[in-house]
């Protein structure tokens, strides 16, 4: 994904989070995450990304 597309996508996500509010933000993030996960070929494509994200915020093991 090009930087411009990444910026547009991230901005749209931030705006959607703002619209739904803090109370529904976790649900929106879960729904978007599941939709993106479903587009992957296998769990092997997804699990390292989950581990990397968790590690970057201080949760879980450091990804290999």
Q: What pLDDT does residue 63 have?
A: 55
Distances (CA, A) of 6 to 1, 12, 13, 40, 56: 6, 10, 11, 18, 19
- pLDDT one-digit tens code per residue, 9-56: 999 999 999 999 999 999 999 999 999 999 999 999 999 999 999 999
In sequence order, the 6+-apart residues with CB closer than 8 A to the CB of 28 are 16, 17, 20
Q: What pLDDT does residue 39 have?
A: 97
Higher-confidence residue of 13 and 63: namely 13
- The alpha carbon of residue 8 and the mean position of all alpha carbons in its chain are separated, in whole angstroms, by 15
In sequence order, the 6+-apart residues with CB closer than 8 A to the CB of 9 are 1
């Amino acid at each position: 994904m090009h930087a411009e597309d990444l910026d547009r996508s991230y901005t749209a996500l931030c705006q959607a989070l703002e619209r739904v509010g803090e109370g529904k933000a976790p649900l929106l993030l879960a729904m978007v995450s599941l939709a993106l996960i479903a587009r992957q070929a296998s769990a092997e494509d997804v699990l390292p990304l989950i581990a990397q994200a968790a590690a970057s915020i201080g949760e879980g093991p450091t990804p290999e």
